[in-house]
Amino acid sequence: MSFDGYKDEINEGDTVILYLTITQVYSIKAQPKIVNKKGNEVENVFQTPYGALKCGELIGKSYGTKISLSKGWGYVLQPTPELWTITLPHRTQIIYTPDISMIILQLELCPGSMVIESGTGSGSLSHALIRAVKPHGHVYTFDFHEVRAKTATEEFKDHGLASYVTVGHRDVCEDGFGEHMTGKADAVFLDLPHPWLAIPHALTSIKTTGGRLCSFSPCIEQVQKSCLMLLKLGFQDIQTLEVLQTQYSVQQRSIPVINLDFVKAEKDGSEPEKKEREMMKTVTGLPPASSPGHTGYLTFATLPPVWCRSLQISLNEEDILTSVD
Ligand SMILES: C[S@@+](CC[C@H](N)C(=O)[O-])C[C@H]1O[C@@H](n2cnc3c(N)ncnc32)[C@H](O)[C@@H]1O
């Protein structure tokens, strides 16, 4: 249950993060036994590049403990949405931390916010949304893939987060978010192949006092259709952006030191006192040789309060669907 706030000790059933190096981070279960593919109960042993770890032995240890492996060591850490995102079992493409941070900031989420998300996918974003809105807010997340919706429900329960999130199994483009969601949301987030079909449902789900919407799309054609739909429905402040993380490499480099003797000698035609070139070692940050990979475009928009929602642009459905074909 360690996703819901801090605790000192690892209990049986906890999801624990095993941190070996910055690129070798894993999530494991602190339980002594697991059922293998043949249906037999066996000892729960996690194989790492530095040796095997008996997961049952973590029970009772403190979070943050350094644990010894046969060929090295690691640390057992509390799970956070950030660590979960880099270690979770992928059932779909997921949203990563640089995009997630922008989404949470731009959707203006805070404790108490009501947020709708679709699709749930692997629950990467959902975990961060839950942390942002709890303890008094709620995440309503929808996916039309029955197994994904069921697995996410079980995962949230297992992580002690069930009271902050409700998983709905439905096609949000066809059926919207449900009657019960009308006028309930402060924010709506869409990660769908056809987000423009869900935007009209977002309109009815956002509070009468207004709210924010975000749509994540990998392709610019999806963005165009979504923006046209947003315009048509009276959304304002429509903005599409891309978050590109640039990782600098920190390296030691030798650079020549300017020899003022040379400068002086050149000016007055005299012999420089020191003739040899001096080099200085320095630590520097080098930008990457290639640009970072594209994940997706984030389109944000504001739905104003009902009493100032008059600015609807007259585009018909056909304009939207044919505009970029
Ligand atoms: C890319 S995944 C979402 C990943 C998620 N944002 C995460 O960070 O883990 C897209 C999900 O949308 C679901 N989906 C696609 N179309 C849908 C629709 N019309 N209604 C509900 N869910 C839908 C898919 O089943 C899939 O699980």
Say whether 171 counts as a known binding-site residue.
yes
- Has residue 2 been placed in a domain? no
Say how many C-beta atoms besides its own lie within 10 A of residue 4's C-beta: 16
Write out the two tokens for 189.
Answer: 């987030």
For position 1, what pLDDT does the model report?
46
Residue 49 domain boundaries: 15-79
128 and 216 together in one domain: yes
147 and 258 together in one domain: no
Alpha carbon distance 231, 321 (integer Å): 14
CATH assignment at residue 207: 3.40.50.150
Query: Which residues lie with the beta carbon below 6 Å from any ligand 1 atom?
Result: 92-95, 118-119, 121-125, 142-145, 148, 171-173, 191-193
pLDDT at 55 over 70: yes
Query: How does pLDDT run across 127-164, given as a tens digit for each residue?
Result: 999 999 999 999 999 999 999 999 999 999 999 999 99
Say whether 56 counts as a known binding-site residue.
no
CA of 311 to the centre of ligand 1 (A): 31
Whether omega for the bond prior to residue 285 falls within 30 degrees of 0, making it cis, is: no
Whether omega for the bond prior to residue 135 falls within 30 degrees of 0, making it cis, is: yes
Ligand 1 atom with the smallest distance to the CA of 95 is 8
- Has residue 67 been placed in a domain? yes
Q: Which amino acid is located at 152 in the chain? A: A
Task: Provide the domain count of the chain.
Answer: 3
For position 214, what pLDDT does the model report?
98
CA of 146 to the centre of ligand 1 (A): 11
Ligand 1 atom with the smallest distance to the CA of 198 is 19
CA of 137 to the centre of ligand 1 (A): 22
189 and 117 together in one domain: yes
- Has residue 213 been placed in a domain? yes
